[in-house]
């Protein structure tokens, strides 16, 4: 099974400052077709998860451009350029495999 480890577990951030979340896999996430289908989800308090980023760096429909994704192979990063109050919540990386979906453990973003 692919294990995805997120760090930090919690990220207290000052409004307007950047935040960065890391997602690491024990094995390469490069698909047999050469693409990497790593996504990022946001879950605000009391809400279902919402897709933010797909295929490492593509913003999903309606996602503000202050969110960006990067990385390759086993190391991936989600960045929020300037944190807003609306960004509070838990962020998950996720990857689909032939066995199903795997998720990182989540990173909680909160305002200092």
Partner 1 sequence: EVQLVESGGNLVQPGGSLRLSCAASGFTFSNYWMHWVRQVPGKGLVWVSRIDNDGNSITYADSVKGRFTISRDNGKNTLYLQMNSLRAEDTAVYYCVRGSDWPGVDHWGQGTMVTVSS
Binding status of residue 99 toward partner 1 by CB under 8 A:
yes
Q: Which of 54, 63, 66, 88 binds partner 1 (CB under 8 A)?
A: 54
Binding status of residue 60 toward partner 1 by CB under 8 A:
yes
Q: Which of 20, 22, 31, 68 binds partner 1 (CB under 8 A)?
A: 31
Q: Which of 2, 11, 20, 37 binds partner 1 (CB under 8 A)?
A: 37
Instruction: Please measure the distance between the N-terminal and C-terminal CA atoms of the chain and give it in whole angstroms.
Output: 36
For 48, other C-beta atoms within 10 Å of its C-beta total 7
The nearer residue to partner 1, 19 or 53, going by C-beta atoms, is 53
The whole-angstrom separation of Cα 1 and Cα 53 is 23
Q: Which of 67, 83, 94, 109 binds partner 1 (CB under 8 A)?
A: 94
Instruction: Assess contact for 104 and 94: CB atoms under 8 A.
Output: yes
CB of 32 to partner 1, least distance (A): 10
């Amino acid at each position: 099974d692919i294990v995805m480890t997120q760090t930090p577990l919690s990220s207290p951030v000052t409004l307007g400052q950047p935040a960065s979340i890391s997602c690491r896999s024990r094995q390469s996430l490069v698909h047999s077709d050469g693409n990497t289908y790593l996504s990022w989800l946001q879950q605000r308090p009391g809400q279902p998860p919402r897709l933010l980023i797909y295929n490492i760096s593509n913003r999903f429909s309606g996602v503000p451009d202050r969110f960006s994704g990067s990385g390759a192979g086993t190391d991936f990063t989600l960045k929020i350029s300037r944190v807003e109050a609306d960004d509070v919540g838990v962020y998950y990386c996720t990857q689909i495999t032939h066995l199903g979906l795997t998720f990182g453990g989540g990173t909680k973003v909160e305002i200092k």
